Amino acid sequence: MKSVNIGIIGYKFMGRAHSNAWLKAPLFFDTLMQPVLKVACGRHEKDVAAFAEKWGWEEIETDWKKVIERDDIDIIDISTPQYLHYEIAIAAARAGKHIFCEKPMAMDIRQAQEMLRVCEENKVTHYLNHNYRRVPAVALAKKLIASGELGSIYHWRCAYQQDWITDPGFPLTWQLRAETAKAGPQWDLNSHCVDLAQYLIGEIREVTAMTADFITKRPLAEEQQTGNLKAGASGLGTGEVTVEDAALMMVRFSNGAVGSFEATRFANGRKNRLTFEVYGSEGSLVFNLENLNELKYYDNRGKAGMKGFATILATDESHPYVDHWWPAGHIIGYEHTFVHAAVDFLDAIATNSPVTPNFETGLETIRVLEAGLQSATERKTIFL
Amino acid sequence: MKSVNIGIIGYKFMGRAHSNAWLKAPLFFDTLMQPVLKVACGRHEKDVAAFAEKWGWEEIETDWKKVIERDDIDIIDISTPQYLHYEIAIAAARAGKHIFCEKPMAMDIRQAQEMLRVCEENKVTHYLNHNYRRVPAVALAKKLIASGELGSIYHWRCAYQQDWITDPGFPLTWQLRAETAKAGPQWDLNSHCVDLAQYLIGEIREVTAMTADFITKRPLAEEQQTGNLKAGASGLGTGEVTVEDAALMMVRFSNGAVGSFEATRFANGRKNRLTFEVYGSEGSLVFNLENLNELKYYDNRGKAGMKGFATILATDESHPYVDHWWPAGHIIGYEHTFVHAAVDFLDAIATNSPVTPNFETGLETIRVLEAGLQSATERKTIFL
Amino acid sequence: MKSVNIGIIGYKFMGRAHSNAWLKAPLFFDTLMQPVLKVACGRHEKDVAAFAEKWGWEEIETDWKKVIERDDIDIIDISTPQYLHYEIAIAAARAGKHIFCEKPMAMDIRQAQEMLRVCEENKVTHYLNHNYRRVPAVALAKKLIASGELGSIYHWRCAYQQDWITDPGFPLTWQLRAETAKAGPQWDLNSHCVDLAQYLIGEIREVTAMTADFITKRPLAEEQQTGNLKAGASGLGTGEVTVEDAALMMVRFSNGAVGSFEATRFANGRKNRLTFEVYGSEGSLVFNLENLNELKYYDNRGKAGMKGFATILATDESHPYVDHWWPAGHIIGYEHTFVHAAVDFLDAIATNSPVTPNFETGLETIRVLEAGLQSATERKTIFL
Amino acid sequence: MKSVNIGIIGYKFMGRAHSNAWLKAPLFFDTLMQPVLKVACGRHEKDVAAFAEKWGWEEIETDWKKVIERDDIDIIDISTPQYLHYEIAIAAARAGKHIFCEKPMAMDIRQAQEMLRVCEENKVTHYLNHNYRRVPAVALAKKLIASGELGSIYHWRCAYQQDWITDPGFPLTWQLRAETAKAGPQWDLNSHCVDLAQYLIGEIREVTAMTADFITKRPLAEEQQTGNLKAGASGLGTGEVTVEDAALMMVRFSNGAVGSFEATRFANGRKNRLTFEVYGSEGSLVFNLENLNELKYYDNRGKAGMKGFATILATDESHPYVDHWWPAGHIIGYEHTFVHAAVDFLDAIATNSPVTPNFETGLETIRVLEAGLQSATERKTIFL
């Protein structure tokens, strides 16, 4: 089996999740290529060295440009915050590297367009890690919708709710500053939701949005980088939160369906709840990421009096990806979605075929998210 | 105990629900007045006679004006479709009758304003039957929020979903025509939701909305009146649906919270699901009308590692209204909310004190609903 | 419509529930006979007078024998604790009265046999109020099993859990003394469960049981009669609890299925949770009384990958009894089961046909319960 | 960090789960020793070679005795069916190897006693893989009970339900034959449940059980070994199922609590549902393995009217093991329990301290399971 060498930029939360994925992909799946954890890159040498040793990255580097310059690297894994994606991706594509990029894709439409253009020009495989498409229950939802089991779609109702910053003492990390994060939950969380909506329902053609700011000043953070949604205050005073705390959107899809989105970091009790409901003429679906092995499915064509939302435990061998894991009823978790992504990405490279989501679908997502920010400012509907 | 004589106008779905409430109120509660089911009024003599006999209304009438003219009637119970509320309420108030009025209150702001003005002028007790305030679990939610257990409120997320018209063969009943219904789910369902939002969260000061039309032509209905969300086609051709099929709204409250609403008759599998989530700085709540004895409550001040949404079965004697029914764990249903309303209305009359919701809160609701319709047309935010 | 005159013996919890049922039955259903609330009987004249006035019983009586002697009484409604059932039922049957009797039926097999014999001899209609058979979701379960939708039944798994006596300060009410209650949850709760098991699964032919005693002494109660599972201590010292606190059983049915029962008053957090699971070769069911409008149904013949437990909201017009109440999705509660029982009992009298459960099925239930007590004492399986 | 060399015997379902655990343990945790995947052993050379290559086992072997004879092996990982545990474990212990043994421990009490004795004699670390103790939610349950949060325990109610053999065409695999499996769900599933009961509640002192046989003849299996609960028929006729299809038990614990168990492979719709309920004087717990990140907790000391079962999503850093994985709300799966076991086992070896469950607790489990089989045969209670 052919090997591919990976260089990873970034080593925090996503660095771990990606490393684990590269390691597990060929163990549980028959990948067409063997990923090699070649070089890990980060600004703090000591930290990146510890990370590399832990996860088996063969070498380390502190300057990402040097990683890209190397001839022996086939894949650049971009696991940094979003403000660095553009520069790294452009350089990687120009160097002919395949790209496995964390979300959100970029800081604006212009960056996203350019990233896509340069990748296409250089014919590299580009993958954007909206990993929730590869939750088996979500992939099953796609299969049901695509095969017509739900009929015409009327409604998409989605929320992504977290609570990690409801404490006013939570510091001003990079996620809360516009220059590093671009926006708040609209960028971080709704990017996932819009990606799923486009995947499951289709193209969005109008957007109306509203944002809210609940806590506008916070203690300065001990350090700007946080990898695990936890951080300490530096004790050096406070600063302005420059991103929104919550973002709501209503959209209309090209196929006539309507949708709603609600992304917030202020929903106490919700740790990582991404839930969506889909209602169609023939059936309905409900999903919740905190219980990701389940998909609720209502078949409107069922027998009168016996219809109801069925809780499908998507762990059967008939379900997407699942036959590679454990027997039915033995559930999988969050990290498995990264493994599925790694497998499909490696296979796409091996077969020289595209994989989605990618910079093309990502550009569409960024377009919707930006329209949302614009709508929230201008207080009117934006037509795409 | 003093008696009060009731004249009811309308005898379909709501006629039954109200009759049951008047009968049960003094049996399960110690009402301050004894309701007497005096006269039932409807246009079809034979039908109203059958209704009256069934439920023990002493007399019948086919002209509602004659009911209002009677000196022996204390209360006018308006159980008709909304397009008749205005005329009946104005006449009843002028005749000094107390008013127990079904929702939605009126056809527009002007009607609602006038209804309120005439009631106040004539010093009659007016009650608007947004009955869900009197679900024990909802009353408990109010108690928790009002006592500060949830802290500052950040989010209201609400949906009211039904599926009774997803079949394109469902006929063009009065609910689907603007002249009798004013609007679709925005009027019928969101009126409940906005009432609850104002009750639980507070005043709404900006509204952005979107509506959708999924099925625009339907068979003409066998008869225009339907009382139970069921109807047959007349076989006489088709007509235009002149109300929306779904209505979405985003709002901002005066206290800084943001809210979302989603009302639809096109959510297959949802029969009468009114669900809301409330997120505050100290705690959160979730309610679902299809399982109305439960309230989910998250206490953010709990012990680390032991916090979670607690499913409170609101059937303890400590819960609002419930000590009048059965022992803990013996659940109540939809119709009990009407009994609670009847009890509180009778007591308000007896003590000459106001009861809510009423035409004052109802006017505010209509204001929000109309702003929603305007926003959906103009595609921009409406500031109240 | 012919009227039937009812005399009720007992006026506490069950007195209220039955009165409500007699009143509502002809309002929501087209009963074949009109029940007349003729005379209410209880030992404490003042209390029974208040009860009668509240609920509209025309007359009162303090000696139940006098009620039975009256020629104008057609139905004796036995709403007393179980230790009085035998004497009253025998006298009522001998007087040719139809009997609507609360559960548990009697204090032992001998009483139950005699009650059945005398009723049959006197050709009176006898009904035993295991009311949960008439929860629409339970009646739906019966329909599914009887029509073969579940195939051969393998498992019945049932628990009835309450927590009203976990406080050691809860006094020694009549329910906790063998001379008035016969036994604890084995008699009070498992009688319901065994009735349901016989109804849904079939005849039981072997029983193995175990009982537990957690709190063996309690304060003497203020008064021996309690109607609402609440009571105060008298301050006159303590007494011995002479019934079990929990009762577990394993059974084998004649059809080869196996079953388990678990009845307790020591399950903190469970107010009135009667839950059962049924597993068959073609499908499975789950029910929970605290959420009684729902039935979960798994269809094993469904399409691979799309199977799951469907939550049927048993409020459609297609579901048993429900078309008489409200539109789909508008849930009913505990008390509605009594109304359904009253309707079926009245119709049985009118048509001179039997109604179940009755003293015949009740005798079988008592047989199983007694076998359970015997097994728990002798620590071995009892074969019926 | 010191390395330890592992030799694994068996390479099917458990071989994969264990291999994954050895690989991930040092990545996500700071184990005190570095596990080295030295040699994999199985009877079919080709299959074991493929397994070894996939998972990175350095060498292969077809005779397990040779693995044990090797001086460079520190740990014997017994991943075979239970009928081989005894012989391998005795040999491994005598050779001074530490033992990581799959469950169920042995074929009878005598074997279990001897395994324990020889391990103690040879001072090797022995671990028995009842992995569910290391589900974070279960470890949290232990913590709550051990710290007294539940008070005195009254009830343990447990079921382990699967449905992989409800199809009569499912062949006679080794799990269905007494000579290889000893018993059916009593051995396979109830071993887990009894282990958990002893861990969470305490010592069991009396047992009453019942078993059931639903399908007694099956097609002979294509091959006797199945690793994933799937198998094909050989087409060579049928054979007798010599283990039970379901096993129910009632137990009494030394502390006065009572418990029930229900293990079956005939619960259609249940894939791998291990659920338990614990009721104590101060609180209650509910767990379900198919949704293993959640623990439901009822605090009886809470405020009146605000109590309910709280769904704790056991993914916070405050929860056992979880701080090594992902941020709160990012769920883990079945396989993670094996990683936790590997970590604790490695640390136990490094610190020369015992780890549980082990052959000592396992012996107690086997004692209860055998008492259950005896009780089911003799139809009476067995006192331990």
Q: pLDDT tens, B3-22?
A: 999 999 999 999 999 999 99
Question: Residue A383: inside a domain, yes or no?
Answer: no
Nearest to B309 among D298, D310, D318 (CB): D310
**D123 Rama sector, left if φ>0, alpha if ψ -120 to 50, beta otherwise:** left
Same domain, C347 and C299: yes
A143 touching D (Cβ < 8 Å): no
Strands in C98-101's sheet, in edge-to-edge order, are C59-61, C33-41, C2-9, C75-78, C98-101, C126-128
Which element (helix H / strand E) includes B157? strand B153-161
| Torsion angle in degrees (nearest 10) through CA of D231, D233, D237, D243 | 20
Is residue B359 a part of any domain in this protein? no
The single-letter DSSP state of residue C316 is: S
* B223 and B339 assigned to the same domain: yes
Q: Does residue D230 surpass a pLDDT of 80? A: no
ipTM of this predicted structure: 0.97
Q: What is the DSSP string of A318-377?
A: TSTTGGGS-STT----TTHHHHHHHHHHHHHHHHT---SS-HHHHHHHHHHHHHHHHHHH
The H or E element that residue C23 is part of is helix C13-28
CATH number for the domain spanning A319: value is 3.30.360.10
Last residue of a domain, one of B69, B96, B131: B131
In a domain, D224, yes or no: yes
Q: Is residue C223 pLDDT above 80, yes or no?
A: no
Tell whether A272 lies on the interface with D, counting CB pairs under 8 A. yes
Predicted confidence at residue B362, as pLDDT, reads 98
In a domain, D384, yes or no: no
- Asked which of A98, A130, A162 is the last residue of a domain, the reply is A130
From B54, B272, B315, residue closest to C330, measured CB to CB: B272
Are residues A330 and D332, on separate chains, in Cβ contact within 8 Å?
A: no
Beta strand pairing call for B33-41 and B382-383: unpaired
- Among A326, A337, A338, pick the best mutation site for testing chain D contact (most D Cβ within 10 A): A326
pLDDT in tens, D8-40: 999 999 999 999 999 999 999 999 999 999 999
One-letter amino acid of A91: A
CA distances from C124 to A117, B235, C364 (A): 89, 51, 19
Does one domain contain both C91 and C150? no
Quickly state the pLDDT bin for C18 (edges 50, 70, 90): very high
Any chains having at least 3 CB pairs less than 8 A from chain C are A, B, D
Neighbours of B148 (CB within 10 A): 11
Per-residue pLDDT, C226: 57
Residues of chain B with pLDDT under 50: none
What's the rounded Cα separation, in Å, for the pair D80 and D63? 13
The partner residues of B245 in beta bridges, in order of sequence, read: none
Average pLDDT across chain B, whole number: 96
State phi, psi for A55 to the nearest 5 degrees.
Answer: -100, 0
Query: For C308, what's the count of Cα atoms within 13 Å in the CB-facing half-sphere?
Result: 26
D110 and D148 co-located in one domain: no
Q: Could you tell me if B210 lies within 8 Å of chain C, comparing CB atoms?
A: no
pLDDT > 90? residue D235:
no
Handedness of CA D23, D24, D25, D26 (dihedral sign): positive
From B204, B161, B374, select the one nearest A157 (Cα to Cα).
Answer: B161
Please state the rounded mean pLDDT for residues C69-96. Answer: 98
- Closest to C326 (Cβ–Cβ): which among B292, B317, B334? B334
pLDDT at A232: 80
Q: Tell me: do C236 and C327 sit in the same domain.
A: yes
In-domain check, residue B383: no
Residues D155 and D278 reside in one and the same domain: yes
Same domain, D174 and D225: yes
Q: Total structural domains in chain B? A: 2
Which A residues, 276 through 335, put their C-beta within 8 Å of a C-beta on chain C? 296-299, 304-313, 316, 318-319
Point out the residue among A270, A328, A334 whose CB comes nearest to the CB of D330.
A334
- What pLDDT does residue A228 have? 58
| The token pair that represents A142 in the structure block | 């796609």
Per-residue pLDDT, D227: 59
Strands C33-41 and C2-9, by their bridges, are parallel
Distance from CA of C1 to the nearest CA of D (A): 46
Contact criterion met (CB < 8 Å) for C27 and B23: yes
Q: Which residue is listed with tokens 């067995």?
A: D382
Domain end marker among A110, A130, A150: A130
- Please give the pLDDT value at position B240: 97
Judgement on whether residues A66 and A109 belong to the same structural domain of the protein: yes
**Chain A: closest CA distance from residue C309 (Å):** 5
* C101 and C40 within one domain: yes
CATH number of the CATH domain containing D114 = 3.40.50.720
**Cβ separation of D155 and C266 shorter than 8 Å?**
yes
CB contact under 8 A, B267 and A155: yes
Please name the residue that has the structure tokens 């010592």: D203
Residue at D56 is within a domain: yes
Q: Do A92 and A196 belong together in one domain? A: no
D175-215 per-position pLDDT tens digit: 999 999 999 999 999 999 999 999 999 999 999 999 999 99
Identify the pLDDT of residue D223: 67
**Is residue B127 domain-shared with residue B138, that is, in the same domain?**
no
Distances (CA, A) of D326 to A144, A325, C114, D295: 30, 20, 67, 18
Give SS3 for A67: helix
Q: What percent of chain C has pLDDT over 70?
A: 98
Q: Cα separation of D188 and D243, whole Å?
A: 11
Instruction: From residue D80, give the alpha-carbon distance in Å to each of A73, A161, D20, D86, D172.
Output: 42, 44, 16, 11, 18
Summarised one tens digit per residue, pLDDT across range C320-354 is 999 999 999 999 999 999 999 999 999 999 999 99
Note the pLDDT of residue A227. Answer: 59
Q: Which two tokens stand for residue D341?
A: 């076991």
HSE value, Cβ hemisphere, 13 Å, CA-based, for D313: 21
- Determine contact: A236 vs chain C, CB below 8 A: no
Which tens digits make up the pLDDT trace of C283-334? 999 999 999 999 999 999 999 999 999 999 999 999 999 999 999 999 999 9
Q: Give me the phi and psi of B162, to 5 degrees please.
A: -135, 175
Q: Write the CA distances from B207 to A68, A301, D157, integer angstroms.
A: 50, 37, 51
The residue type of C53 is E
Q: Which of D252, D260, D266 is opposite residue C279, by nearest beta carbon?
A: D266
Across the interface, which of D256, D277, D381 has its CB nearest the CB of C380? Answer: D381
> Residue A184 carries which DSSP code?
S
Residues of A in Cβ contact (< 8 Å) with B162: none
What integer pLDDT is reported at residue B213 of this predicted model? 98
Please report the number of interchain residue pairs, chain A to chain D, with beta-carbon separation below 8 angstroms.
Answer: 110
Can you list the residues of chain A whose pLDDT is less than 50? Answer: none
Cα–Cα distance measured from residue B90 to residue B110, given in angstroms and rounded to the nearest whole number: 13
Nearest to B262 by CA among B240, B244, B280: B244
* Burial class for D186, CB neighbours closer than 10 Å (0-12, 13-18, 19+): buried
Kindly state whether residue B255 falls inside one of the protein's structural domains.
yes
Q: Is residue C307 part of a domain?
A: yes
Q: Which residues of C touch D210 (CB under 8 A)?
A: 208, 250, 252, 258, 381
In the 8-state DSSP scheme, what is residue A133?
A: G
Q: Which residue does chain A place closest to D26, by CA atoms?
A: A54
- CB pairs B-C closer than 8 Å: 111
Q: Chain A contact for B260, CB < 8 A?
A: yes
Domain span at residue C38 reads 2-132
Q: For residues C170 and C234, state if they share a domain.
A: yes
Task: Give A344 to chain C, closest Cα distance, Å.
Answer: 22
Q: Give φ, ψ of D297 to 5 degrees.
A: -135, 125
Which H helix or E strand runs over C9? Answer: strand C2-9
